[in-house]
């Protein structure tokens, strides 16, 4: 990594810590409640979120990488933490994708098109995994007459699956169009190469890992709901995790602020929960995740200052 890149990373860490501090100050009432969590509540919440971050890093590492190498799990965990906080501060998660592309280029020498192909493909598979879980679990609940799911659940689930299929088909179709400018053809071709290099077994593994994220998120949400005295049934907690993840597809505000809350309120409308307590859960959820990501970014700063650590990718992975 060049000297300029090192300075930029240092500035990036400083900006992240300042952003986290400002966010905590603006939500100091929520911070005061968060500090009062018991030891076991902290343990379960942190374990739930760390499990999610570990799975996200694992999925990124398992994607097809150029030249037969890929980053270590620890490096990807830190890179994801930096990028996630940048995503908190930008609309459409632009900061998240820009941060990932910058680290991929600076540390691993990947071109922007390959980097975008890697991250975009993993994001599509994560969305698909959440949507499949929401579809199958929702059908089981609906057909078994366990509960009546609101329209927002089906809209997000079916809409996400449609978007994933449409994006893949569009990429494959446009990559064959010779009337497009050569740089754009090359860019689309690189993204297509990333997708076609992924085996069906890997696609299945990534979808399953995305689904495993859901009960971990539900665990953390369940603990936070108990803090505010909200008794939410387990099926609703699982659906909250699904809907919260799928709402990122319409992340029109920084940190998806407002949109996530609206879809969750619509999902939980039949429970007639107090909106003040529910809003408190969502704010505490955001705050704790931001604090954990800031700690990971700070602890991993030295790691990203060192030369990249990659290992050879097995042909049978």
* Residue 86 resides in a domain: yes
* Residue 313 resides in a domain: no
- Report, as an integer, the average pLDDT of 224-249: 93
Distance CA 168, CA 24 (A): 39
- Report, as an integer, the average pLDDT of 179-190: 79
What is the per-residue pLDDT across 6-27, written as a single tens digit (0 to 9) for each?
A: 888 889 889 889 999 999 999 9
- What's the sign of the alpha-carbon dihedral 34, 40, 45, 50? positive
* Residue 81 resides in a domain: yes
Is the CB of residue 73 less than 8 Å from the CB of residue 270?
A: no
Percent of the chain with pLDDT over 90: 49
* Residue 53 resides in a domain: yes
* Residue 314 resides in a domain: no
Q: How many domains does the chain have?
A: 1
* Residue 237 resides in a domain: yes
Is the CB of residue 285 less than 8 Å from the CB of residue 255?
A: no
* Angle of helix 151-174 versus helix 259-267 axis, rounded to 10: 130
66, pLDDT greater than 60: no
* Residue 125 resides in a domain: yes
* Residue 317 resides in a domain: no
Average pLDDT, the chain: 88
> Domain range holding 122?
3-308
Which residue do the tokens 């169009």 mark? 177
Percent of the chain with pLDDT over 70: 95
pLDDT tier for residue 69 given thresholds of 50, 70 and 90 = low
């Amino acid at each position: 990594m060049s000297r300029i890149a090192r300075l930029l990373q240092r500035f990036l860490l400083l900006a992240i810590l300042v952003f986290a501090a400002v966010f905590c100050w603006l939500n100091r009432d929520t911070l005061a409640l968060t500090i009062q969590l018991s030891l076991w509540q902290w343990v379960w919440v942190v374990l739930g979120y760390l499990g999610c971050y570990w799975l996200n890093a694992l999925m990124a590492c398992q994607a097809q990488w150029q030249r037969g190498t890929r980053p270590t799990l620890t490096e990807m965990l830190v890179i994801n933490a930096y990028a996630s906080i940048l995503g908190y501060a930008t609309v459409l998660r632009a900061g998240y994708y820009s941060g990932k592309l910058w680290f991929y280029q600076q540390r691993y020498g990947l071109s922007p098109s390959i980097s975008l192909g890697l991250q975009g493909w993993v994001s599509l598979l994560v969305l698909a995994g959440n949507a499949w879980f929401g579809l199958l679990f929702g059908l089981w609940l609906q057909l078994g007459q366990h509960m009546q799911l609101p329209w927002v659940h089906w809209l997000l689930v079916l809409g996400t699956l449609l978007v994933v299929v449409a994006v893949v088909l569009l990429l494959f179709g446009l990559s064959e169009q010779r009337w497009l400018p050569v740089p754009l053809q090359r860019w689309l071709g690189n993204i297509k190469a990333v997708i076609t290099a992924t085996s069906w077994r890997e696609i299945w593994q990534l979808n399953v890992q995305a689904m495993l994220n859901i009960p971990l998120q539900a665990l953390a949400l369940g603990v936070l709901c108990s803090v505010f005295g909200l008794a939410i049934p387990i099926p609703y907690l699982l659906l909250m995790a699904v809907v919260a993840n799928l709402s990122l597809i319409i992340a029109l505000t920084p940190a998806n602020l407002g949109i996530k809350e609206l879809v969750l309120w619509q999902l939980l409308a039949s429970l007639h929960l107090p909106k003040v307590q529910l809003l408190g859960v969502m704010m505490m959820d955001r705050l704790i995740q931001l604090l954990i990501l800031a700690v990971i970014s700070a602890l991993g700063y030295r790691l990203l200052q060192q030369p990249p650590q990659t290992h050879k990718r097995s042909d049978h992975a």
